[in-house]
Structure 1
């Protein structure tokens, strides 16, 4: 019952409060943090859930200290976000997809693939409007460029960008 109340408060009130960067936020960041602490599987310290973030029920999301979900992002679980992870606006993280294997059935009738864990390790920066597909692991210290579509695992300290995302360089 408590979870349902927290979900309703988040989606009807907290999600619509101003961004934490707004001079008119009046404690919006603290309220969203409080609500998500009651919804997420694990929530670290100083977590920032921004205005408009959508995460379904949130029950299979883990987020570490000093990390956040960006403005108007859309994520689903199972999702594990490490410590000190920055996420730009409108990032999308998917953990399942549509089935397309039965040619005798319309795609809309085939359902979804099983959910796959997306794991984002510590000290990662995900740029605005990046898309991360199911089952991806983003290594420690990596940078995902704005607008990148991540279809393969990203190694530690790699900078990736493009569609599909490719390694541009490694941080030194």
Structure 2
């Protein structure tokens, strides 16, 4: 990774692992061990913890916190105020030995205000609707909505409707 990225002067960025052409906007905080790929757009008020890996061409909209154990593949969209959780039974000052992983596979999208529980995999090209609460894995090309989120349909790859 090199230094051809942009960080807003009001961002608090400690990692050196930022890819080419990526942008990190104001009031965002990125911890030292986070990895951000090429051509990413990290909007304002985003927090990225140490054990987070973000692929290339990822958009993370305002107000998102990415906690330890999150893996985001290439070409993913994460909408405003999406909530990721990495502890199913949180207690103050009591931490698990290892935080569970969350994997967001390539070309998937997560709508505004969705909540993603720990130990979840969101399959490639999947779409999670705004406000959905994802409690189990999302298959590739599935469209999920509701609380708890359920599959409402699959995207049809044969006629490129996955680009909807």
Tell me which interval the TM-score lies in, with the shorter structure as reference length. Answer: 0.7 to 0.9
Q: Deviation of residue 108 (structure 1)?
A: 5.2
Match of 2:40 among 44, 47, 51: 47
Which residue is equivalent to 1:78? 69
Q: Determine the structure 1 residue equivalent to 2:81.
A: 90
Larger Rg over CA atoms = 1
Pairing 1:130–2:123 present: no
Question: CA RMSD, aligned part only?
Answer: 2.8
Q: Is the 8 A contact 1:91 1:130 kept in 2?
A: yes
Structure 1 unmatched ranges of 5 or more: 1-8, 16-28, 100-106
Shift of 1:91: 0.4
Following superposition, the deviation at residue 74 of structure 1 comes to 1.9
Structure 2, unpaired ranges of 5+? 1-6, 13-21, 157-164
What displacement does 1:79 show? 0.6
Match of 1:67 among 43, 58, 63: 58
Name the structure with the higher strand share.
2
Pick closer, same or farther for the CA change 1:149–1:124 going to 2, 3 Å: same
- Provide the secondary structure at the position in 1 that maps to 2:53: strand
Q: When you count helix as a share of all residues, which structure comes out higher?
A: 1
> How does the TM-score come out when normalised to structure 2?
0.74
Runs in 1 of length 4+ with deviation above 4 angstroms? Answer: 35-38
Moved more, 111-120 or 74-83: 111-120
Paired residue total: 139
Query: Could you tell me how far apart the structure 1 residues matched to 2:34 and 2:63 are?
Result: 21
Distance 1:52 1:38 in 2: 14
